Amino acid sequence: MTDTVVKSIPKAFLLFLAGSCLFALSCTAPPEGNGSDGARWFAMQHCNGCHGKDGAGGRAPEIRGVGLSYGELQAKVRNSGSAIMPSYSSERLSDKEIADIFVFLEEVK
């Protein structure tokens, strides 16, 4: 009895996870990014001034290879909610350019 209950929870949880992943993929699929363009935006927008060369950390936390999703990166960049980090409007940095930075941060980790 207890045995079946314990076993059925992970299964339901896995199904839930699979469902939410599909949902997330179809709803927030990032634009295709290009890492070498991303390196350029990263320097042009002075991300590197705070986050260090290649996002390795400096005056702000390391952001390369820290497991952030594209959605998390995009949300932070658009609305940093920070007294230190600026927010970037889509005129300043497009979704495509954020995707480029995302790929760049994946590639340099």
The amino acid that residue 67 corresponds to is: G
Minimum distance from CB of 64 to ligand HEC (Å)?
10
Q: Closest separation between CB of residue 109 and ligand HEC, Å?
A: 13
For the CB of residue 4, give the shortest distance to ligand HEC in the complex, in Å.
40
- As measured in angstroms, the least distance from the Cβ of 32 to ligand HEC is 18
Query: Could you give the CA distance from residue 9 to residue 15 in angstroms, rounded to a whole number?
Result: 10
Q: Quick one: 1 or 83, whose CB is closer to ligand HEC?
A: 83
- DSSP conformational letter for 53: G
Q: Footprint of ligand HEC on this chain (CB under 6 A)?
A: 45-47, 49-51, 60-61, 63, 66, 68, 73, 76-77, 80, 82, 84-86, 88, 93, 101
Write down the H helix ranges in 1-109. 2-27, 35-44, 47-51, 70-78, 95-108
For ligand HEC, the closer of residues 8 and 90 by Cβ is: 90
Q: Which two three-digit tokens encode residue 94? A: 């497009």
Residue whose structure tokens are 């949300």: 75
State the CB neighbour count (10 A cutoff) for residue 107: 15
Q: In terms of CB distance, is 77 or 103 closer to ligand HEC?
A: 77
